[in-house]
Amino acid sequence: MMWRVSQKNKKQVTKGPTPPPSILYAAILASLQSLVAIVFGAFLMVRDFTGAENDSMVTSTSTASHVGTGTAIFIFIIFGFVIASSWAMTRGKRWGRGAIVLVEFILGASSFQMMTGGSILLGIVTLVSAILTVFLIFGVKSSGEWFALNY
């Protein structure tokens, strides 16, 4: 069992496959972020397939109509890996946490691009979710203790 109650009514972290709630919440947040990104990727593909115009892209090549699909495939690979990393992190695998933290820093930086580009609310939500996920992984004592015991 992961959590045992001591005489002082405090939870103690023990080695085992079940992570503390903070790790589960971080994995859920990272997975939700990834699902939103994957839905956006699907949206980009639909726009490509329906022939929607993108006024912000100026090019003279014929491959311009496939930029959304290429971006979507990239999104599917990266954020699909983040979902796999979330699962791995909750199972105590070493490689799970690193991928999530890397993507969270990228999302945090991207949030400022969103805010300066006019999507202020979306940027704030992205930034807050990225900070919260990193905090749940590194800032909660039980998370650090569980990682130390399982790594």
Domains contained in the chain, number: 1
122 located within any domain: yes
106 located within any domain: yes
In tens, the pLDDT along 15-43 reads 566 889 999 999 999 999 999 999 999 99
Alpha-carbon span 138 to 23, nearest angstrom: 9
13 located within any domain: no
66 located within any domain: yes
Which has more confidence, 11 or 31?
Answer: 31
42 located within any domain: yes
- Indicate whether 1 pLDDT > 80: no
16 located within any domain: no
14 located within any domain: no
This prediction's pTM: 0.80
Give the burial string for 127-146 (b: 16+ CB within 10 Å, else e): bebbeebbebbeebebbeeb
Range of 102's domain? 21-54+61-150
140 located within any domain: yes
